[in-house]
Structure 1
Amino acid sequence: MNARGLLIAAPRSGSAKTTITLGLQRALAQRGLTVRGLKCGPDYIDPAFHAAATGAPSANLDSYAMTDGLLGRIAREAVDAADIVIAEGSMGLFDAVPGEVGHTGAGADIAALTGWPVVLVIDVSGAAQSVAAVALGCKLYDPRIRIAGVILNKVASTRHERLVRQGMERIGLPVLGALPREASLILPERHLGLVQAGETADLHARLNALAEAVSKAVDLDAVMAAAAATTLPTAIDDNAPALPAPGRRIAIARDAAFSFVYPHVEAGWSADGAELVSFSPLRDEAPPEDCDSCWLPGGYPELHAGTIAAAGHFLEGLRGFAETRPVHGECGGYMVLGRNLTDAGGVVHEMAGLLSVETSFAKRKMNLGYRRAVLAAHGPLGAAGTTLTGHEFHYASIVAQGEDPPFAVVTDPHGSAPVPAGSRRGLVTGSFFHAIATAGPA
């Protein structure tokens, strides 16, 4: 297979990119096509929905954190295994951070890299012909990309749709579909985004409903015709994983509290010969003794703090494991490795105590953005001085850092001064940022 592709994007967040993307993916899969989804930017939740909608793996394409070679490799794996790729942008199409051309984190970077045309989803509530001015701005803003058409969302009436279409005709952009206001198209959310795919009640019924709604409102044949051949960089990285495998047999926590792992990271470890062995702290399971490293991903431990604190077998097993083998925690996993975690109600729960940090979800502060982290010491993610690219998104706060030395020194793309981040003690490390790829020596 050598799939054509499309990028579903929008002028801003909150335009229903995800719901329309999922509806398109499911509807095309129901036609018998092999569909692959990809997600622009540092998002864990949407790729899991893509996988549920298509029945095939999804992954991230992050133009800030990944090299062209890594981006090309991930995209090529999807293209080679599909009839069509329906990728999803992040935020607004051109929303970005300071960076080299093509490496700003914008969805437009991915469209330019792959050659995939953009289908623009526009929330038309509160406007009519003026919507075309927004679409025209997107059409002209970046000469690297091509807008193939628009899908209108939240159309109020037949007359409203007619007026919006008049504006689109004036600028020469085809309208590929128009969805009416429909609250049932909204997927449930919580503080870090959509409720995870595995926790969404009646997920497949919801996806089928999305597919039905999109099929009625969108010209699927026109969408498929708008897709274009994939063009990728000729220089592709070798098969080295994006991040070094922390072991040859990796115990990885997986349940509703620990689920935020980038698909490309796990795929890279597996391709490098590592075996991933799942266990569930919420079921009071300890890291398997026949593993040589342990990985605690991010997720929602703050919603399950009481259960984790009462999971004596897990906590004791984790402490014993850490005496002889490396343990790393990202974000939520970092919180569980600390001394305690205060939940939203102000109740303090004792955690593993393998690091000295104390965290609180009662004192909320949003922390969001890309990070470049220089490792302070040798560990499971590389030698001292290795630079990682990553992303941080959480509402928990640190109430006491404790006495542990930092895991890394981090900066952001906006010129922030380097600051210590995370903690390390013995074979245990952790931080709030999620590593995406190794950037090489600092």
Structure 2
Amino acid sequence: MTVPRGLIVGAPRSGSGKTSVTIGLLRALARRGVRVAAAKSGPDYIDPGFHKFATGRMGVNLDTWSMAPPLLDTLAASAADGADLLVIESAMGLFDGIDAAPGRSGAASDLARRYGLPVLLVLDVSGQSRTAAAVAHGFATFDPEIALAGVVLNKVGSERHRSQAAGAIARAGIRVLGSVPRNPDMALPERHLGLIQASELAGIEAILDGLADVMEASLDLDAILAAARPLDLATVPSGPALPPPGQRIALAQDAAFSFVYPHVVAGWRAAGAELVPFSPLADEAPPDDCDCCWLPGGYPELHAGPLAAASHFREGVARFAAQRPVHGECGGFIALGATLEDAGGVVHPMLGLLGHETSFARRKMNLGYRSARLLGDTPIGLKDSVVRGHEFHYARVVAAGPDEALAEVSDGIGNLIGPSGGRRGNVTGTFFHAIASETG
């Protein structure tokens, strides 16, 4: 059996152009007939959607902080199965993680070290030239266990600019494997939680083909393929990241509720569960023949009016919750509450199955890893079990309501945050997204 090869696309920081380079590279290689797969380091659930469109294969997250090593290795092996090349896109800067046990920081460098993969370093050289060589040299020497495959210069302003930066990097003994011209048309559209999701972009195929055209003209694809190394994969099997919350799971899926980690639903299906999608924005209720309803994260704050007016959805979820579990994460948690104040200050009634009130007008960013000890049996785990996850939202709770807390939550380095979420009867919800049980 052929061992798949891999590499990591990294950068010094967010905003360097990693995602544009990655998805353009993925599509360019796929057009060549390379069986290419992709993964995203860290908890970002938007980029794997772009990876899926670029490769035709489901994307996956590989998060060294949230995922126990057996689960991490199982997901990496599954992502690479049947592929010639696995490309892992870094989150933030290559070495950006948190203080944690060795190999569990959440940084992409953990994956490079664990799987023996080289790094294709994307350098935004706008506003600099020869200084780029100092940055590249720092990456090449910072961690002796991590090798650079080479450097891609991004946002190059002219041939003279390219020559100065590339020449200095080459003299430092580091290969330059491409240079991408400055091009504002390469920017992907964004909103408050990051990129607009690939599934929402009507012109996604044209965007991907355009980026692939740029990468074919700008990168040495043959050299990049040759620089990839065989993945050093363990074979320890793992169960699902989270136990299925039911045999048939009614899963809200539309523009308001769309943030579901691919590895979570894949694990549910592998464990024998069936997912039945329904659309709150189309005023659909969770099907009565399901035994759990899951409201994922998304953008209810952008659709508060239609959700408030969706009477069939509202009545159906209330009827479902009278007998069976209903769980909401982030956006789903917002929808389970009493009210939501939108960006314009208009207050809309939500499902009212929990008592909290949230506001998007009075914004406060919440971002970071979360470790949650569950205070009761819930769809994400049993009482006193610990679930690791991530929180990223701008809405804030302006009235807590009378419900019992779902969990006692700490941040990624163990600082106690306090009670989080709510539970009432069969209804549970929280702002954090569960990624894996601590032992999973």
Per-residue deviation, residues 151-183 of structure 1 (Å, max 9, x unmatched): 000111111111101211122111000011001
Kindly state the Cα deviation for residue 116 of structure 1 after the two structures are TM-superposed.
1.4
Q: Secondary structure at the match of 1:153?
A: strand
Letter in 1 for 2:350: M
Checking the alignment, whether the CA contact within 8 Å between 1:326 and 1:380 is kept in structure 2 is yes
Letter in 2 for 1:439: E
Find out whether 1:345 has 2:360 as its counterpart: no
Identity of paired residues, percent? 56
Per-residue deviation, residues 294-327 of structure 1 (Å, max 9, x unmatched): 0000000100010100100001000000000000
Kindly state the Cα deviation for residue 418 of structure 1 after the two structures are TM-superposed.
4.3
Alignment correspondent of 2:361 = 362
Kindly state the Cα deviation for residue 3 of structure 1 after the two structures are TM-superposed.
1.7
Q: Secondary structure at the match of 1:233?
A: coil
Per-residue deviation, residues 308-365 of structure 1 (Å, max 9, x unmatched): 0010000100000000000000000000000011100000010000000110100111
Report the Cα distance in structure 1 between the residues aligned to 2:301 and 2:100, rounded to whole angstroms: 34
Checking the alignment, whether the CA contact within 8 Å between 2:381 and 2:387 is kept in structure 1 is no
Q: How does 1:261-340 map to 2 (within 5 A)?
A: 261-340=260-339
For structure 2, the residue ranges without an aligned partner over 5 or more in a row are none
Letter in 2 for 1:21: T
Alignment correspondent of 1:44 = 45
Kindly state the Cα deviation for residue 220 of structure 1 after the two structures are TM-superposed.
0.6
Checking the alignment, whether the CA contact within 8 Å between 1:390 and 1:436 is kept in structure 2 is yes
Report the Cα distance in structure 2 between the residues aligned to 1:415 and 1:135, rounded to whole angstroms: 33
Letter in 2 for 1:62: D
Alignment correspondent of 1:212 = 213
Report the Cα distance in structure 2 between the residues aligned to 1:94 and 1:191, rounded to whole angstroms: 25
Taking structure 1 as the reference length, the TM-score comes to: 0.98
Alignment correspondent of 2:377 = 378
Alignment correspondent of 2:401 = 402
Checking the alignment, whether the CA contact within 8 Å between 1:367 and 1:393 is kept in structure 2 is yes
Kindly state the Cα deviation for residue 185 of structure 1 after the two structures are TM-superposed.
0.5
Report the Cα distance in structure 2 between the residues aligned to 1:332 and 1:291, rounded to whole angstroms: 21
Kindly state the Cα deviation for residue 41 of structure 1 after the two structures are TM-superposed.
0.3
Alignment correspondent of 2:186 = 185
Report the Cα distance in structure 2 between the residues aligned to 1:3 and 1:139, rounded to whole angstroms: 24
Kindly state the Cα deviation for residue 237 of structure 1 after the two structures are TM-superposed.
3.5
Letter in 2 for 1:378: D
Task: Say which is worse superposed, 224-233 or 290-299, in terms of deviation.
Answer: 224-233
Alignment correspondent of 2:433 = 434
Find out whether 1:147 has 2:145 as its counterpart: no
Report the Cα distance in structure 2 between the residues aligned to 1:268 and 1:391, rounded to whole angstroms: 18
Alignment correspondent of 1:259 = 258
Q: Secondary structure at the match of 1:74?
A: helix
Alignment correspondent of 2:160 = 159
Per-residue deviation, residues 16-44 of structure 1 (Å, max 9, x unmatched): 00000000000000011211110000011
Q: Secondary structure at the match of 1:259?
A: strand
Kindly state the Cα deviation for residue 65 of structure 1 after the two structures are TM-superposed.
0.4
Report the Cα distance in structure 2 between the residues aligned to 1:395 and 1:359, rounded to whole angstroms: 10
Checking the alignment, whether the CA contact within 8 Å between 2:338 and 2:349 is kept in structure 1 is yes
Checking the alignment, whether the CA contact within 8 Å between 2:42 and 2:90 is kept in structure 1 is yes
Letter in 2 for 1:299: G
Q: Secondary structure at the match of 1:85?
A: strand
Report the Cα distance in structure 2 between the residues aligned to 1:266 and 1:215, rounded to whole angstroms: 34
Kindly state the Cα deviation for residue 383 of structure 1 after the two structures are TM-superposed.
1.4
Superposed CA RMSD: 1.0
Letter in 2 for 1:200: L
Alignment correspondent of 1:92 = 93
Report the Cα distance in structure 2 between the residues aligned to 1:396 and 1:342, rounded to whole angstroms: 9
Letter in 2 for 1:173: I
Q: Secondary structure at the match of 2:355?
A: coil
Report the Cα distance in structure 2 between the residues aligned to 1:82 and 1:182, rounded to whole angstroms: 31
Per-residue deviation, residues 361-399 of structure 1 (Å, max 9, x unmatched): 001110000000000011212211000000000000000
Letter in 1 for 2:135: V
Checking the alignment, whether the CA contact within 8 Å between 2:18 and 2:122 is kept in structure 1 is yes
Q: How many residues are paired up?
A: 439
Taking structure 2 as the reference length, the TM-score comes to: 0.98
Letter in 1 for 2:150: G
Alignment correspondent of 1:3 = 4
Letter in 2 for 1:290: D
Checking the alignment, whether the CA contact within 8 Å between 1:373 and 1:411 is kept in structure 2 is yes
Kindly state the Cα deviation for residue 144 of structure 1 after the two structures are TM-superposed.
2.1
Checking the alignment, whether the CA contact within 8 Å between 2:113 and 2:146 is kept in structure 1 is yes
Kindly state the Cα deviation for residue 247 of structure 1 after the two structures are TM-superposed.
0.2
Kindly state the Cα deviation for residue 75 of structure 1 after the two structures are TM-superposed.
0.7
Q: Secondary structure at the match of 2:297?
A: coil
Task: Say which is worse superposed, 69-78 or 262-271, in terms of deviation.
Answer: 69-78
Report the Cα distance in structure 2 between the residues aligned to 1:29 and 1:398, rounded to whole angstroms: 45
Report the Cα distance in structure 2 between the residues aligned to 1:348 and 1:198, rounded to whole angstroms: 29
Kindly state the Cα deviation for residue 440 of structure 1 after the two structures are TM-superposed.
4.1
Alignment correspondent of 1:20 = 21
Kindly state the Cα deviation for residue 228 of structure 1 after the two structures are TM-superposed.
0.6
Letter in 2 for 1:402: G
Per-residue deviation, residues 194-227 of structure 1 (Å, max 9, x unmatched): 0011111300000000000010000111110111
Checking the alignment, whether the CA contact within 8 Å between 2:387 and 2:436 is kept in structure 1 is yes
Alignment correspondent of 1:66 = 67
Kindly state the Cα deviation for residue 415 of structure 1 after the two structures are TM-superposed.
3.8
Letter in 2 for 1:185: M
Q: Secondary structure at the match of 1:13?
A: coil
Q: Secondary structure at the match of 2:259?
A: coil
Letter in 2 for 1:95: D
Letter in 1 for 2:212: A
Report the Cα distance in structure 2 between the residues aligned to 1:422 and 1:142, rounded to whole angstroms: 40
Report the Cα distance in structure 1 between the residues aligned to 2:92 and 2:283, rounded to whole angstroms: 37
Letter in 2 for 1:316: E
Alignment correspondent of 1:120 = 121
Q: How does 1:414-425 map to 2 (within 5 A)?
A: 414-425=413-424
Letter in 1 for 2:334: M
Checking the alignment, whether the CA contact within 8 Å between 2:126 and 2:156 is kept in structure 1 is yes
Kindly state the Cα deviation for residue 413 of structure 1 after the two structures are TM-superposed.
2.2
